[in-house]
Amino acid sequence: MEPNARVRNRHVIAGSGRHRAARVKIHHLALADAPPAYDALVADSFFASRGFLDVWRTMGGRPVAWAATVDGRFAAVIPGVELGFGPITRFASLPDGCYGGLFAEPGLADAAAIGDALMDAIAAHGYARSHVFDGAGRLRQNRGFRAQACETRLVAIDPDWSPPDAKLQSEIRKAAREGVRVERYDAARHEAGFLALVAMTAARQGAKPRYRARFWQRLALLAETDARVRWRWCEHGGRPAASHVYFVDGGTLVSWQDFSDRAFSFLKPNQFIRWQACRDAATDGIRTLNLGATPDEAAGVTFYKCRWGGEPNRYVVQARWNGIGALVRLRDERRAGAATLAAATLVR
């Protein structure tokens, strides 16, 4: 372990029988200080990779690792990103629907107990808000966190795959007849058009773009060296029509972001991009599409995703609010409750 690693706590996990107890220490590290063993632990995860975590620096994030050493060996980690400073510091493992949670060496004894120790240390750190997106379900529910149920859909894909929905199949055929062509995103040629699509999509949702231009620029640089970034682009008549960002994480194609110009909706570019992306991924040996998290209140989104087939997959986000974060959450809950009451009054 690096000499400037901060040891936050120490836990001794008792052994059994003739085996001695293991000495477990918990460390809070800047990701840059994590040893090469970190990369071995998260090798199957794009989201936890150093390259992707570094992209969050463009949003003011600081990549960190809550790590456990067992008898001095780097054995388990919960990677994440810290945002903000002082009493408003937040922690996410990982941000914006990207899966984090516990990564441990294969066959690690008492991995669940070590996960508990890591979560206890995160809770004790005093973050204003902490979220751990445990998509793989490797963590036990921690008493210091609240469980929030989330759902996505997992779809089996193959090189000849098509969605089961007849209307989607018809829309994909229409796009093919219209000559819709999907290509890999090239920042040198497509950046200006892509940012225009991002702005259009945000405006339709009554919001500002969530990510800065430099976030996308850094992601494009990563895509040049990491094939797990599958960024697709579609234009028509020299104008941008749609663009999708997919990641390959844990052998699964994850649908992360998509943007489009409604003026070209008649071409069905969104449907065609997804269909082509899935077939391309399946040709490379990927057999599952993850359609991304769906908020409970987004019934329309849920219905649309169901049309692509697959089965719902439930997982837990462990969340904690502390100090200023708890006060802000209480305020937001009261506002939401007042809005719900007002709506109910209007209905009556």
Domain 158-286 has CATH 3.40.630.30: yes
What integer is the mean pLDDT of 286-291? 97
| DSSP β-ladder status, 252-260 and 239-249 | antiparallel
Q: Which tens digit of pLDDT belongs to each residue from 308-319?
A: 999 999 999 999
Confidence of residue 293 (pLDDT cuts 50, 70, 90): confident
153 CB neighbour count, 10 Å cutoff: 20
Distance CA 272, CA 209 (A): 24
Per-residue pLDDT, 175:
97
Strand 62-70 to strand 90-93: parallel, antiparallel, or no bridges (unpaired)?
A: unpaired
Structure token digits, residue 95: 């941000």
What integer pLDDT is reported at residue 325 of this predicted model? Answer: 62
- 341 pLDDT tier (thresholds 50, 70, 90): very low
pLDDT value at 4 more than 50:
no
pTM of the predicted model, to two decimals?
0.89
pLDDT tens digits, residue range 107-145? 999 999 999 999 999 999 999 999 999 999 999 999 999
198-208 average pLDDT score:
95
Cβ–Cβ contacts within 10 Å for residue 301, how many?
Answer: 14
Domain 158-286 in the same topology as domain 6-149+315-340? yes
Collect all residues with Cβ–Cβ distance below 8 Å to 162 and sequence separation of at least 6. 168, 169, 172, 275
Nearest partner of 185 among 238, 242, 256, 269, judged by Cα = 242
Q: Where are the domains of the chain?
A: 6-149+315-340, 158-286
Quote the mean pLDDT of the chain. Answer: 89
Instruction: Encode 338-348: b = buried (16+ Cβ within 10 Å), e = exposed.
Output: eeeeeeeeeee
pLDDT bin (cut points 50, 70, 90) of residue 329 is low
Structure tokens at 268: 């069905």
Question: Residue 286, Cβ neighbours under 10 Å: how many?
Answer: 18
| Amino acid making up residue 34 | A
Tell me the pLDDT tens digit for each residue of 49-60. Answer: 999 999 999 999
Return the H-helix or E-strand segment holding 274: helix 269-283
Indicate the CATH number for domain 6-149+315-340.
3.40.630.30
Tokens of 311: 């089965």
Look up residue 143 and give its DSSP letter: T
